[in-house]
Amino acid sequence: MRHIISLLMENEAGALSRVAGLFSARGYNIESLTVAPTEDQTMSRMTIVTSGSDDVIEQINKQLNKLVEVVAVMDMNEGDHLERELMLVKVRAVGEAREEMKRMADIFRGRIIDVTDRSYTMELTGSGSKLDSFLQAIDTSMILETVRTGACGIGRGDRILKL
């Protein structure tokens, strides 16, 4: 099953390698991994999207907790949570497609953030599956380039990951 694991870790050189190395060394999947400093500059927050059996996910959580630089770990899937990912998509926009692409962007609540006479660059946010749906909904031959940040997640309501 797909899990979103969030963790707080020391904002130190090498901390990212420890986490990434753990996943490769123990053969765990990484679907996406995203990391940036938090409002507390000494800490970074990382979101890892992974998949595996319940036993594997349990081990992943334990192994992450064992890393000395990891301050706190939360498996988002253990409770209500929100997931968002940002995608930038550059599409062909000539002739009829110009209008069509604009409509699609509206339907998916995307925004066009760069325009040329031949292309649009759109910004979309949502869950990973929403972004997948957008890409499936448009003609793949129209896609010039995509870039995705990978998912980040946050607990709903009182579910807070903080030191």
State the residues that interact with another protein by CB under 8 A: 9-10, 13-14, 17-18, 21, 25, 55, 58-59, 62-63, 65-66, 68-72, 163
Name the token pair of 99: 């209008």
Q: Tell me the sheet residues that pair with 25.
A: none
Nearer to another protein, 35 or 104 (CB): 35
Nearer to another protein, 44 or 119 (CB): 44
CA distances from 3 to 28, 86, 95, 153 (A): 12, 18, 42, 10
Of residues 41 and 140, the one with the C-beta less far from another protein: 41
Whole-angstrom distance, CA of residue 94 vs CA of residue 90: 13
**Residue 29 or 61 with smaller CB distance to another protein:** 61
Q: At its nearest, how many Å lie between another protein and the CB of residue 160? A: 17
Task: Supply 21's token pair.
Answer: 């190395």
Give the C-alpha separation, 9 to 11, whole Å: 6
How far CA 65 is from CA of 19, 33, 59, 69, 73, in Å, comes to 10, 17, 10, 9, 6
Q: How far is the CB of 62 from another protein (least distance, A)?
A: 4
Smallest gap from residue 9 Cβ to another protein (A): 7
Min CB(19)–another protein separation in Å: 11
Start-to-end CA span in the chain (Å): 28
To another protein, the closest distance from the beta carbon of 67 in angstroms equals 8
CA distances (Å), 93 to each of 117, 140, 144, in order? 7, 13, 10
Which residue number, 39 or 96, has a Cβ lying nearer to another protein? 39
